[in-house]
Amino acid sequence: MEANIMGDEDITIDPWGSAQSTDYDRIIDQFGLTPLNPSTISQPSRLHRRGIVFAHRDLDVVQESQRKGDPFGVLTGLMPSGQMHLGHSMVIEQVKWFQHQGGDVTIAVADLESQATRGVGLEQGRKIALEEYIANYAALGLDPEKTNVYFQSKRPVVQRLGFQLGKRTNLNEFEAIYGFNGETNLAHVQAPLVQVGDILHPQTEEYGGLRPIVVPVGVDQDPHLRLTRGLASKTNWFNLKDASSRGLIISLSVHDENAAVFGQMPNGRIDRSKVEQVFSQIVESLMNLGFSDIMSSPKQGTVHVPSATQRDKHGIRMALLSLERQLGGPGLLAPSSTYHHFAVGMTGDKMSSSKPKTTLFLKDDVGTVEKKIKRAFSGSQATVEEHRRLGGNPDIDVAYQYMMYFFEDDDAYLAEINAGYRAGNILAGEMKQLCIDRATEWMSNLHEMRDQTAHLVTDFLARDSI
């Protein structure tokens, strides 16, 4: 189950493993992510501007809702085990950005997953979630009024969706996505299915209804998104495809759940009047969107809209999902997602909660912060003389990288110290001192905010999770 991080073989990503591929171009290629171009983002955050959030799936759908003022949601999850560190804060920064853009926020506490895969009891998981994570989310500036935190163990619809959608996948797919084999513990089969429930349930009527949901993650979580997107699509009652000639074409996707509604009688005959009724409802939905050239042929099982373009696809898809819901189906939209690069660990290896030297915990005091940065891996030359002559490498210099990822807001200043380091004008020790100054300011500010916002923690909890 380890990720394969070298060679020409396909990369497999293991969300539970310790290895991590940083060959982001290959990941984009192999898994069909779309590279994210910051200039197409309205009001890009610093993570977008700096190329740290580097790829997405269907983010345009969310941006369209943002622009139009239509509802959209953001979902993320936390694993209640260990301490919250800097790496975790990056997701929250993105959630905050979406929240500012008008998104409603749902946060899953993966207490079932943590219990099953890390041996953390539910009570313990709850305590860790509140004290380690939610307390920091409040301090980092998430708005408790617009955020709903829930526990997997307390939300039946999440578990139910996971169970129901299990019907549409099998062990071969899990082997292909996660690299599972006969030895794999079934908790690792159940956890992703519960996570599918996490990601899809905000679309249910009870939790906000049909709207785009975006999930900002590190690439290690992409297998879960691929699984979720596939399962959501497999439940859809209508297919929407590019027509071979021009425009878009809609057809029915008949399965057990909708056979009766679609006029498929148990004796194999077809109830034409039911079929025609469904087709006239499709036509009506399209007319409501403003289309007039609609070629409906119930006999062939298709509705062709020659004038529809790629830009119309999302609107039509949403109309079809609403119609599906009217007819009794789940009407699930595949989730959108964004992907961020991982900051390098302070030792130069991977950042990991189980190795305190590789990261800053949000509880570290300023003395510890200073010590860790002083010892951090640097991108300098072997001697000061060489550094002056040849220059340093900010791309691998932890002090510089942490300013870029976490502590420095000013792009122009970053560009300046980047150039200064490369030219050999700024020495490694000087870069570390710049980082220590910023990091201690950031950390003291966070600790102060944590005290000030401690009383808000329970306001983040959803009603079923208080």
Contact residues for ligand TRP, defined by CB under 6 A: 75-77, 79, 108, 110, 113, 195, 198-199, 215, 217, 221
Exposed/middle/buried for 180, CB within 10 Å: 0-12, 13-18, 19+?
buried
CB of 26 to ligand TRP, least distance (A): 23
CB of 199 to ligand TRP, least distance (A): 5
CB of 427 to ligand TRP, least distance (A): 38
CB of 152 to ligand TRP, least distance (A): 7
Rank residues 142 and 217 by Cβ distance to ligand TRP and give the closer one: 217
Residues 6 or more apart whose Cβ sits within 8 Å of residue 46? 409, 411
CB of 261 to ligand TRP, least distance (A): 31
Exposed/middle/buried for 237, CB within 10 Å: 0-12, 13-18, 19+?
buried
Rank residues 12 and 378 by Cβ distance to ligand TRP and give the closer one: 12
- Between the CA of residue 440 and those of 138, 198, 408, 411, 426, what are the distances in Å? 19, 36, 12, 20, 20
CB of 193 to ligand TRP, least distance (A): 11
Q: At what angle do helices 272-288 and 313-326 cross, to 10 degrees?
A: 140
Judge contact between 343 and 351, C-beta under 8 A: yes
CB of 217 to ligand TRP, least distance (A): 6
Rank residues 76 and 94 by Cβ distance to ligand TRP and give the closer one: 76
Residues 6 or more apart whose Cβ sits within 8 Å of residue 12? 3, 4, 178, 179
Residue nearest to ligand TRP (CB): 77
Judge contact between 16 and 179, C-beta under 8 A: no
Rank residues 129 and 428 by Cβ distance to ligand TRP and give the closer one: 129
Exposed/middle/buried for 11, CB within 10 Å: 0-12, 13-18, 19+?
middle
Rank residues 122 and 275 by Cβ distance to ligand TRP and give the closer one: 122
Rank residues 33 and 428 by Cβ distance to ligand TRP and give the closer one: 33
Rank residues 214 and 369 by Cβ distance to ligand TRP and give the closer one: 214
Rank residues 196 and 240 by Cβ distance to ligand TRP and give the closer one: 196
CB of 67 to ligand TRP, least distance (A): 25
Judge contact between 178 and 11, C-beta under 8 A: no
Around 115, how many Cα atoms within 13 Å sit in the side-chain half-sphere?
15
Rank residues 221 and 258 by Cβ distance to ligand TRP and give the closer one: 221
Torsion angle of C-alpha atoms 95, 98, 100, 101, degrees rounded to 10: 180
- Between the CA of residue 388 and those of 331, 373, 427, what are the distances in Å? 62, 22, 8
Residue 446 tokens read as 């966070």
Rank residues 215 and 404 by Cβ distance to ligand TRP and give the closer one: 215
SS3 for 298?
A: coil
Judge contact between 228 and 334, C-beta under 8 A: yes
Rank residues 129 and 248 by Cβ distance to ligand TRP and give the closer one: 129
- Between the CA of residue 275 and those of 162, 256, 306, what are the distances in Å? 31, 16, 22
CB of 129 to ligand TRP, least distance (A): 11
CB of 294 to ligand TRP, least distance (A): 38
CB of 235 to ligand TRP, least distance (A): 19
Around 352, how many Cα atoms within 13 Å sit in the side-chain half-sphere?
11
Phi-psi region of 160 (alpha: psi -120 to 50; beta: other; left: phi over 0): alpha
